[in-house]
């Protein structure tokens, strides 16, 4: 059993969605660690992405959610860490497929490009979707 289920982080461009998603995690009794940022002051997304990724790789957290302005910077940075499969999603189909087929362990969202209700639906879908294994495990193994 990991200490926490979800490590969540954002830069200033994703701060408001981070707070909204935390409200949802609390309402569902999903354990989480908020690794910042803690205000709308400008900060650097790679630092947050690396911190979240390392918590997952070190088995301190099961999965992660990262939000920046577009979701792109966070996904590029997180995917530099071996063992991280960060999925930048703008729709629920991709969110589900990223779990079922790619065993994504980080969800990346863009506060400036995805509406709030859609973003929350993406989070719910991603959290409730499972990896299918089988032929997909073979492919994921090839990534590693």
Catalytic-residue membership of 117: no
- Nearest alpha-carbon partner for 111 in 70, 59, 60: 70
Q: Is residue 37 close enough to count as binding ligand RB5 by CB under 6 A?
A: no
Give the three-state DSSP class for 17: helix
Q: Is residue 64 close enough to count as binding ligand RB5 by CB under 6 A?
A: no
Catalytic-residue membership of 43: no
Q: Is residue 90 close enough to count as binding ligand RB5 by CB under 6 A?
A: no
d(CA 73, CA 76): 5
Which secondary structure element, helix H or strand E, spans residue 119, and what is its range?
Answer: helix 116-127
Catalytic residue among 68, 88, 89, 108: 68
d(CA 33, CA 95): 21
Q: Is residue 9 close enough to count as binding ligand RB5 by CB under 6 A?
A: no
**Count of residues of this chain found to bind ligand RB5 when the rule CB under 6 A is applied:** 8
The tokens for 1 are 């059993």
The CB-of-119 to ligand RB5 minimum distance in angstroms stands at 14
Q: Which is nearer to ligand RB5, 79 or 103 (CB)?
A: 79
Name the segment binding ligand RB5 (CB under 6 A); options: 1-9, 53-61, 67-75, 79-87: 67-75
**Secondary structure percentages of the chain, helix, strand, coil, to 5:** 45, 20, 35
The CB-of-16 to ligand RB5 minimum distance in angstroms stands at 12
Contacting ligand RB5 (CB under 6 A), which of 35, 45, 103, 119?
Answer: 45
Under DSSP, the state recorded for 102 is T
Which residue(s) pair with 52 in the sheet? none
Catalytic residues: 68, 101
């Amino acid at each position: 059993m990991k200490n926490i289920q979800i490590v969540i982080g954002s830069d200033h461009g994703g701060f408001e969605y981070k707070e909204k998603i935390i409200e949802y995690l609390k309402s569902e009794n999903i354990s989480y660690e908020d690794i910042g940022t803690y205000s709308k002051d400008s900060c650097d997304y790679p630092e947050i992405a690396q911190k979240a990724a390392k918590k997952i790789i070190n088995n301190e957290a099961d999965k992660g959610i990262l939000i920046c302005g577009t979701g792109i910077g966070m996904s590029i940075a997180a995917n530099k860490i071996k063992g991280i499969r960060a999925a930048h999603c703008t729709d629920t189909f991709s969110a589900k497929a990223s779990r079922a087929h790619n065993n994504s362990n980080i969800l990346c969202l863009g506060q400036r490009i995805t509406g709030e209700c859609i973003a929350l639906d993406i989070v719910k879908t991603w959290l409730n979707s499972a990896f299918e294994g089988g032929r997909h495990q073979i492919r994921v193994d090839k990534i590693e």
